[in-house]
Amino acid sequence: MAAPEYAANPLPATALDTPSGGIPTTGTSAAETSAAETSTGGTPATGTPANQPSTALALPGQTAPRTGLADLPDTPANRIAVGFLLSHHGNTRTAYTRDLADYGAWCAEIGIEILDARRVHVDAYVEHLTRSGAAPSTVVRRLSAVSGFYAYAVDEGLIDRNPAARVRRPKVGENVQSTGLSRAEAGRLLAAAEAHSPRAAVVANLLLFCGLRVSELCHAEVGDLGWERGHRVLTVTRKGGKRQRMVVPPRAGELIDTYLDGRTDGPLVATVTGRPLDRQGVWRLLRTLATTAVPHLADSLHPHDLRHACATLALDAGASLRDVQDLLGHADSRTTRRYDRARHNLDRSPTYALAGLIDTPDPRD
């Protein structure tokens, strides 16, 4: 379809002035959304507001429908959204579903047909997110979802160009300001986990020593455990469906054996009914442990904090950036470098190593 004239879609005055500056209808605050790199729980809006344009998004539930559009209004925007979401998997699909639902709700609120939006509207959406307090990383991810949606619409011939393609992305800080857990805090948390229960000990040890994402822990099976060249290993499914072997430290291996007590199948970490422990269960368990181990974090400790601690403490212990990158499964070393708190330490300057390598002849000789 031909791109509409700009004058036909002026930016409504309400675009930058949503009530209370909040993110509408998704049920997720900006602060909560900023943690979604690690935990993509939350449910987007399931209904369609009375004033919502006919081509706005109305995505149900946390994930895209597995097949068809049976539970969605049959609109061009929804068809494009489902097609785009089906090209992604796992947590990425979950997060993008919520992101598109939020963008669709915002478009409906300002009265713009989502497939008629222009760059000025996407710029206004970014401003709305920023004013709402969304973290730069959250804004970048939401723009990625919105841009991907429009790119898919371009490929399908519904629009002529992607209005989000040239929208400026905020810079994500190079440094991770928090440290996750200090060495002492990590030790106290592990001790509290062992005192709590065998299952808690397994959860805390695998999250901290292997740097697992919570979804990787929850989806692990007993059959994923094994041995390789004398190393106890756990094979997990990482982003993009990639399978990776993780070394399990001896103490963690002993705790796993104690917890399994001879069980040879099913989820690695299970509930009392035998079902896989979900991310909410992990979150609640860690908060319980925090009340005694790290009381100042009792209301804020998150599974990602243990992954974060894994990175920072490994780097502090002298592990190479490359090895930590492989451990965490980062595709880009720049992501890992954000955890390297000491990389600007002058004591580590390669200048000293280079100066010690090169012999400078004495001009008097």
- Written as tens digits, the pLDDT of the chain (365 aa) is 444 333 344 455 445 443 333 333 333 333 333 333 333 333 333 333 444 444 456 554 433 344 333 456 778 999 999 999 998 877 788 889 999 999 999 999 999 999 999 999 999 999 999 999 988 888 999 999 999 999 999 999 999 999 999 999 887 765 554 557 889 999 999 999 999 999 999 999 999 999 999 999 999 999 999 999 999 999 998 877 789 999 999 999 999 999 999 999 999 999 999 999 999 999 999 999 999 999 999 998 999 899 989 988 888 888 888 899 888 888 777 778 777 765 566 666 788 788 888 877 777 76
For each of the domains in the chain, give its residue range(s) and CATH number, in order of start.
Answer: 6-155 (no CATH), 183-343 (1.10.443.10)
Q: Which residues fall within 8 angstroms of residue 360, CB to CB, at 6 or more apart?
A: none
Q: What is the pTM of this model?
A: 0.60
The residues annotated as belonging to the active site are 213, 239, 304, 307, 330, 339
Query: Does the CA dihedral 274-219-299-93 come out positive or negative?
Result: negative
Q: What is the largest CA-CA distance in the chain?
A: 90
Neighbours of 60 (CB within 10 A): 16
For residue 232, the surrounding DSSP H or E stretch is strand 231-237
Q: HEC states along 51-80? A: CCCCCCCCCCCCCCCCCCCCCCCCCHHHHH
- Closest residue by Cα to residue 143 from 114, 113, 170: 170
**Lateral strand order in the sheet of 243-247:** 225-228, 231-237, 243-247
